[in-house]
Structure 1
Amino acid sequence: MITLGTARASPGETDTGRLEVGETRDGSPVRLPVAVVNGADGGKTLYVQAVSDGDELNGLGVVNRFVPRVDPTELSGSILVVGVVNYFAFQVAEHRNPIDDRKMNRGYPGDADGTTSERIAHATFEEAKRADLIVDLHQGSTSRMINETRVRCGIRHHLHGDCLELAKVFGCGHVLDIKGPDGQLARAGPDQGIPTIDPELGGCVGWDEESIRYGVEGIFNVLRHYGFLDGSVEIEPQVRARGFDQYGSPAGGLVRFEAELGDRVSAGETLFEVTDTFGDRKGRVTADADGVFWRTRRLPQVAAGEYVCSVGTNVDRY
């Protein structure tokens, strides 16, 4: 029998339930939706979570699709799933937890006696530590972004190679290999000896079926490559960026992009122009270095200095 909160699954079974992580303002319990897929045969444990940022729903779409498709009678090992981590932000469709104004993915490994975000991080990390592999599903918030996977432990970490392998197996085609901020699950997991990745599945308002498909395929790639399911995975070379340049607007106005997401850009190449209301150009921004056009704002209107786009730099294939 494997349990996660109230979910209980014997070998060859799947069950869903709730994981209690705190209380709301009226004293009622906060219970996160969870699932356990317990394979008929023994093996490794995979931990998957989604929606640690309340407006990033593509990961929830992945959970919604892949859990019913996994047949526990054909599985070796187990899968632990937390479908919605940031309970409070999810309820109001906001990025940050409105109770403590914290970004959940800066709070790991958490604190059982801390803020609401720290308490949720602590409770979910206690479950994640049971696993051999961790996949923390994200997206580029509501901006526009390519589908990519992030390795956040840093190149000097002793598990860097294992995390990079897991990212390559997941197979989005692009990898951002840059040490992440303190408090990210993709930093805390490797520090506990668990290879961890942070797939960033596009960026949208609501969810995007193409990005969800990348995520579902990625989960099944992991299940096959690491022996949870029969079958092999064809691992193809991917584009890796080890740097990240961000660009703001030189003037207020309307943005007109000259590059498409995923395009290779060269130093000096125009990334975007800014025009006034009537189309007269007010500014032009070029790439500082060669790279991949990685992420852009969604709305065309900008103030002077406001974020516009990002380019992944120091690019190679591995």
Structure 2
Amino acid sequence: MRHNPITATIDFDRDGVQHGFLRLPYSRNDSAWGAVMIPISQYKNGQGPTALLSGGNHGDEYEGPTALFDFCTRTDLDSINGRIIVVPAMNYPAFQAGTRVSPIDSLNLNRIFPGRPDGSVTEVIADYFSRYLVPMADYVLDIHSGGKTLDFVPFAASHILDDKDQQQRCEAAAKAFNAPYRLQMLEIDAAGLYDTLVEACGKVFVTTELGGGGTSSPESIRIAKQGVDNFLIHAGILDAEPHPSEIESTSLDMPDFRSFLFCEHAGLVEPCVTLGDTVAEGQLMARIHSVDRTSITPIEYRAPRGGMVIARHVPSLIQVGDCLNVIGEIV
């Protein structure tokens, strides 16, 4: 297979604190011999497990980049046993543009794994993670939120896996992250996800959704920062006391696709429930108003199952096919 063109400016085998870049050659109109320079840091102290921490898989999700850029200001190595590789903004072109997908090739990084070494910029980034960074890791944390079009209750998540021992280890790590909610997550389509690639490699993997709406809050940033520490403490890499939660974490499940409520009408959303509400099957969730003309009776959308509202669509204008709400069952 062709060699990946990305060059790391740090030495993954060297002890100490290093800050540098993943340099991806990218010739363009304003820079003939230019490159995409993806920031990366490594903390390595002796023998121990390796954790790979990432944010910015989608460029309009800010809890991960904020928590991880902040993490990379640390200088203390004495509390670390092993190696921590930190990429605060995986899809750096999308992060710079504040968009979910890359402005360079319009690809969604989290739908094209394992990527291609001879593909477009986003495909090359996916291939580098797949063939170089993930194989180094024992524990992988990828921090997400809802971006500009979804908002979530803050949760850490794991998936149902064929390997039940691996599934239990992922569940334990998600629990250790200690977000207000912990979810057994069902994906609409798992093909091409970073999650699927990492789990197929046998790693302990945790993902999150920590808010959304295209912004962050002091609370969502606090959850992300403390969750990073808790994840590393659980992995045995960071020697510290775990951050306690102010409330007991609630366990949620998505047992089947009735957890998703998709919109079949375009228009203006009138929400009838909010995040964290408990709903019964058949309960009114939202009305969709036509914006083409007046005097049109709004369309009612009702809960396909009972449970807790864990996601909602933002902003208030919606298109056919958009996800309106997600409902999780309280375990």
Say yes or no: TM over 0.5: yes
Identify the residue that residue 103 of structure 1 maps to in structure 2: 108
Pair 43,251 (structure 1): closer, same or farther in 2 beyond 3 Å: closer
Counterpart CA distance in 1 for 2:102 and 2:71 is 26
Counterpart CA distance in 1 for 2:27 and 2:196 is 28
Structure ranking higher in strand proportion: 1
Any conservation in 1 of the 2:174–2:182 contact (CA below 8 Å)?
no
Residues 276-317 of structure 1: CA deviation (Å, up to 9, x unaligned): 6789852222111112212122222335x353522234x243
1:265 and 2:279 correspond: yes
Q: Which amino acid aligns with 1:204?
A: G
Choose the corresponding residue for 1:241, options 236, 247, 253.
253
Alpha carbon RMSD of aligned pairs, Å?
A: 2.6
Choose the corresponding residue for 2:210, options 201, 226, 244.
201
1:256 and 2:263 correspond: no
Structure 1 position 249, deviation (Å): 4.5
Q: Percent identity?
A: 24
Any conservation in 1 of the 2:79–2:240 contact (CA below 8 Å)?
no
Identify the residue that residue 21 of structure 2 maps to in structure 1: 18
Residues 9-28 of structure 1: CA deviation (Å, up to 9, x unaligned): 854x3221011233242331
When normalised by structure 1's length, the TM-score is 0.86
Q: Which runs of 5+ in 2 are unaligned?
A: 1-6
Q: Which amino acid aligns with 1:166?
A: A
SS across alignment from 2:136: coil
Residues 58-96 of structure 1: CA deviation (Å, up to 9, x unaligned): 210111222324721221111101122213222322211
Counterpart CA distance in 2 for 1:44 and 1:102 is 32
Deviates more, 1:221-230 or 1:251-260: 251-260
Deviates more, 1:282-291 or 1:107-116: 107-116
Identify the residue that residue 325 of structure 2 maps to in structure 1: 310
Structure 1 position 171, deviation (Å): 1.9
Counterpart CA distance in 2 for 1:141 and 1:32 is 20
Counterpart CA distance in 2 for 1:287 and 1:266 is 7
Pair 69,291 (structure 1): closer, same or farther in 2 beyond 3 Å: farther
Pair 146,24 (structure 1): closer, same or farther in 2 beyond 3 Å: farther
Choose the corresponding residue for 2:87, options 55, 77, 82.
82
SS across alignment from 1:255: strand
1:150 and 2:153 correspond: no
SS across alignment from 1:222: helix
Identify the residue that residue 3 of structure 2 maps to in structure 1: none
Structure 1 position 232, deviation (Å): 4.7
Counterpart CA distance in 2 for 1:262 and 1:7 is 43
Residues 248-293 of structure 1: CA deviation (Å, up to 9, x unaligned): 4465543221212122211121211234678985222211111221
Counterpart CA distance in 2 for 1:112 and 1:251 is 40
